[in-house]
Chains A and B, each alone.
Chain A
Amino acid sequence: MNASDLKASNLEQALCFFNPTKPLSDVGLRLWYVPRSRSPRGRMRTLLEKETEAQRILFVGHRGSGKSTELNKLAEELEPSFHTIEMNLIDITGRTTPEYDDLMLAMSTRVTRYCIEKKLIRRPLGEALGERWQDLLDWWQQLAGSAQLPTVATEENLSVKLNTILGQLELGVKQSSQTRDRVKLRLNQQMPELIERLNWVIEQAESGGRPLLIIVEGLDKVDLESANNIFRDHSPTITTPRAAMVFTFPLALRHSDHFNTIRLSFPEVFYLPNICPRKVDASEDQDGLAALRRLVLARIEERLIMPEALELILRNNGGVPVWLVALIRGAILYALERGGDRIAIGDAENAVRDLLRETLPPLSREDHRVLRARHQDRLLSNDSMEQRLLYNGSLIEYANAVPWCDAHPVLWPLLEDGEHGRQE
């Protein structure tokens, strides 16, 4: 993609540029990323770069708030000073109920494989180093053990052989619960050995001058009990690797009784707030609206969307980037359907209506009652009902003042229309 492809010049192109299925990365990140004033990315970067001790950071944000995009941007910015290893625990393990040993195994295999593939570890030439390499290989082979892994073809290069074993181990553990159970049983008896070998790899890799940063995504989506198991009950283990680490963290746990315990091991917690189109007193937040406008106009020429249509979309997405992208895409489809060459107010209105009727999660009467109350008082609490509504996206948290919340804007007519606010 070159500079002329920076912004969509017609609606067909715009439809492709507003893609809700993926966060920004690579070319999209370079072309369309818009800095957000309240993003903690800058502070995270400063902390990682300035502190001599490897940091362990928790990163929290709502679904669709742009966490993955911000982490991709952080990795890009840190590229001159860190080797960054990004991994998604759910992708690697295939589980939404991972345990701490799943995390440790995944981190170890991924970090080791990365360091091998990027040639960050000195080749096993000298005798001492060669012995260490052989030990690493032997140890992983015995961990894989009688797990039904295909025989590794004889290879002269220890590091290549090791990389192959680790790849097969990852696959075996993911695809077979029997293999996983066998390996974990062995691993639990040898966790100190795993940590020792992982730290040796990290030390070798960092001896070249650039430290490692491990970014672990997916932990914000795991079962809450699993997250507690990992962060609260096994924090001493998961913080033993001597590399900087960033973990995504479930929003619901931030408001739980366990959070203070978790903070003892993870003092650095950074929250990515949603963009704020309004203030807590319901007046417009011009900075927030401007940020949302920049997000849109980074990808589409301004002439392709009528001002009133853009304003309607800016006021109805709740400050959540994924909804903004969805509304723009929906409006483009309506415009293309009528043969228009730009988005008009009717297209935006249809997109907003569809978001309410077809895409927001269903709400019960009790949900409705709570949302109406929060729309009126905007008070944020750790009440379990509200946490559920935050999770499903019908309640949105903001941080342009003391943290507050409001119902998704497309729900407001429903909530304001009498006792039950029945949708027409």
Chain B
Amino acid sequence: MVVKSDFTKPEEKSAFSRLVTLLRLVEGAWALAVIDNQSERRVSQQLRAALDPLPVIEVSFLDIGPSPLPLLRARNIPEGSAAPVIIFNAVGTAMPDLFWYIDVHREKIAKYRHRLVLLVTERERLLLLEKAPNFCSRLSGVFRFTRRPATPMPIDYRALLATLEPNPEPAL
């Protein structure tokens, strides 16, 4: 399956190709896209282009609050229509309440056909894995678009979270 993008680093190219393939083929998939200040906008734009004609909706947790459920309810998918891709940004602004909503309500979220992508920083990825394990155990994949690789283990968890780069500016 050929997926075009302008990512040049092999790891990012691979991650993008696999993420697009997943989102194209699987309704109801959940994915984390690990981004940084430089890649966030690019990932969103490239996804929108690569997934066309699948509808792609970008949503900020700053606008909707920490629960994705009301949005999923509101974005009802007509019978026979392709489920849209929903890209959530500003994930960090919804923490810590977000952990509770997605972990507690994962069964409800799973009932919707929407394809979900959460754009998260490395810090947010670590927090999600720690604080929302029930949701994260159901992820279809984690796809990385950052300059630095995944934090190697074992880690000095608290010190590391204090030194990781702050959340990127919310997308305008």
Contact = CB atoms under 8 A, between A and B. Distances in A.
Interface string A315-340: 00000001000100110011011010
Contacts of B134: 63, 221
Contact of A367 (B106, B133, B154): B154
Contacts of B136: 359, 361
A21 B110 contact: yes
Interface stretch (A87-95, A158-166, A252-260): A87-95
Interface residues on A, range: 35 or more
A354 interface: yes
Nearest to B67: A94
A362 B151 contact: yes
A15 interface: yes
Contacts of A88: 107
Interface string A79-112: 0000000001011001110000000000000000
Contacts of B25: 12, 15-16
Contacts of B106: 21
A273 to B, nearest CB: 18
Interface in B119-158: 125-126, 129-130, 133-134, 136-142, 144, 149-157
Interface residues on B, range: 35 or more
A63 B100 contact: no
A22 B18 CA distance: 21
A367 B110 CA distance: 31
A354 B125 CA distance: 13
B1 A339 contact: yes
B17 interface: yes
Contacts of A393: 133, 137
B139 A326 contact: yes
Interface string A134-170: 0000000000000000000000000000000000000
Specify which of B18, B27, B110, B156 lies most central, judged by the most chain A CB atoms within 10 Å of its CB. Answer: B18
A96 B21 contact: no
Given A90-B104, A358-B142, A358-B144, A391 B133 contact: yes
Interface in A365-399: 365, 367-368, 391-393
Given A94-B104, A422-B152, A364 B157 contact: yes
Contacts of A423: 152-153
Contacts of B103: 96, 221
Contact of B156 (A63, A334, A361, A365): A365
A359 to B, nearest CB: 6
Interface string B1-30: 111000000000010011001100111111
A91 B26 contact: no
A40 interface: no
A337 B143 CA distance: 13
A95 to B, nearest CB: 8
Contacts of B105: 90-91, 94
Nearest to B157: A364
Contacts of B152: 422-424
A21 B138 contact: yes
9 contacts: A20-B137, A21-B29, A21-B138, A63-B133, A91-B105, A94-B104, A358-B34, A364-B155, A421-B154
Interface of B: 1-3, 14, 17-18, 21-22, 25-30, 32, 34, 100, 103-108, 110, 125-126, 129-130, 133-134, 136-142, 144, 149-157
| Nearest 8 A/B pairs, CB to CB | A358-B142, A368-B154, A333-B18, A423-B152, A357-B150, A21-B110, A361-B129, A21-B138
